[in-house]
Amino acid sequence: MSNISFGQVIGFIVIAFLVILVLVTLFRAIRIVPQATAGVVERLGKYHKTLNPGLNVLAPFVDRMRPLIDMREQVVSFPPQPVITEDNLVVSIDTVVYFQVTDARAATYEIRNYLGAVEQLTTTTLRNVVGGLNLEEALTSRDKINSQLRIVLDEATGKWGIRVGRVELKAIEPPVSIQDSMEKQMRAERDKRAAILTAEGTKQAAILQAEGARQAAILNAEGDAKAQILRAEGEAQAITTVFGAIHAGNPDAPLLAYQYLQTLPKIAEGEASKLWIIPSELTEALSHIGAGFLGPKN
């Protein structure tokens, strides 16, 4: 039993060969394509079909699948590119391109290296667009430049099976001398705005102060006027009261003369009293007073 015949050995070899052949055939026939990728299949060197994500079966030894293509949106940042503006200034521009492969067959057969082609096309288009703008327009028109770049790139890469979704300019760096001039200009502009704000604040403060002084003067004048009115009303009421009391007492001429004499010193206290007016009735009243104290003349 330990002896194995030559025929048995040959049989074992044939069986092993067949098993290996089956395994190799299955390995070459079954392809699993991951999600968000696509595989281009060539049959006898010619395009046959595009494999979708999942399990796929190929014809062994006849079909060949090329490297998988990523169908997700890709972000590529290109190195800074020197660009000459319309006013002959060299600026350095960093660009970021967002693109996506939409047709695996076109991306495989219509262009050899679509990533390098997108980079070169972006650089050329950027120079054409920025070359028609001066430095100030290039610095303030990023949205316009991005839009123009996206339209041109999307139109040019459409036949390659690529869709350009967005183009962004990361940075625009003017020459060092221009940067120094711009910094001085911005500093002068900031100083100007600060001076304007300071002057405006001083003006508003002066206006408020003048308004406050005017309101205070008006209030003081109104207070003085009311005080004078109240004093005049008080004096009028006092005069009315005194006049009423005198008439209520039915005074005679000697009493009136006596009250008048008492009032004269008070009249003399005023600084504006320069002239005394003595009515004719006063002499008559004095004669009556003298007669009252000295008696009647003989």
Residue 104 belongs to a domain: yes
Cα–Cα distance between 102 and 38 in angstroms, integer? 10
Compute the chain's Rg from CA coordinates: 57
Q: Would you mind telling me the total number of residues written for the chain in this entry? A: 298
- 281 has a pLDDT exceeding 60: no
- 1 has a pLDDT exceeding 50: no
- Which of 51, 69, 87 is at the close of a domain? 69
Cα–Cα distance between 98 and 100 in angstroms, integer? 7
- Which residue type, as a one-letter code, is found at position 259? Q
Of 277 and 7, the structure prediction assigns the larger pLDDT to 7
- Which of 145, 174, 203 is at the close of a domain? 174
Once rounded to an integer, what is the mean pLDDT over residues 170-199?
A: 76
CATH number of the domain that 163 lies in?
A: 3.30.479.30
Number of H helices, E strands in the chain: 8, 9
Task: Provide the domain count of the chain.
Answer: 4
- Which of 28, 54, 69 is at the close of a domain? 69
Q: Which helix (H) or strand (E) holds 180?
A: helix 176-249
Of 103 and 294, the structure prediction assigns the larger pLDDT to 103
- Are residues 158 and 80 part of one domain? yes
Task: Dig out the tokens for 137 from the structure.
Answer: 């327009």
Residue 231 belongs to a domain: yes
- Are residues 160 and 78 part of one domain? yes
Query: Model confidence over 230-266: pLDDT tens digits?
Result: 877 777 776 677 666 666 666 666 665 666 556 656 5
Residue 202 belongs to a domain: yes
- Are residues 232 and 287 part of one domain? no
- Are residues 86 and 137 part of one domain? yes
- Are residues 96 and 44 part of one domain? no
Residue 62 belongs to a domain: yes
Once rounded to an integer, what is the mean pLDDT over residues 222-236?
A: 79
φ, ψ (nearest 5 deg) of residue 72: -80, 165
Residue 184 belongs to a domain: no
Query: Model confidence over 136-180: pLDDT tens digits?
Result: 888 888 888 888 889 989 898 999 999 999 999 888 888 777 766
Residue 183 belongs to a domain: no
Of 154 and 182, the structure prediction assigns the larger pLDDT to 154
Other C-beta atoms lying within 10 Å of the C-beta of residue 149: 24
- Are residues 50 and 10 part of one domain? yes
Residue 139 belongs to a domain: yes
Residue 18 is part of which domain span? 6-69
Cα–Cα distance between 166 and 149 in angstroms, integer? 9
Q: Choose the weakest-confidence range: 15-24, 101-110, 198-207, 259-268.
A: 259-268
Once rounded to an integer, what is the mean pLDDT over residues 30-55?
A: 91
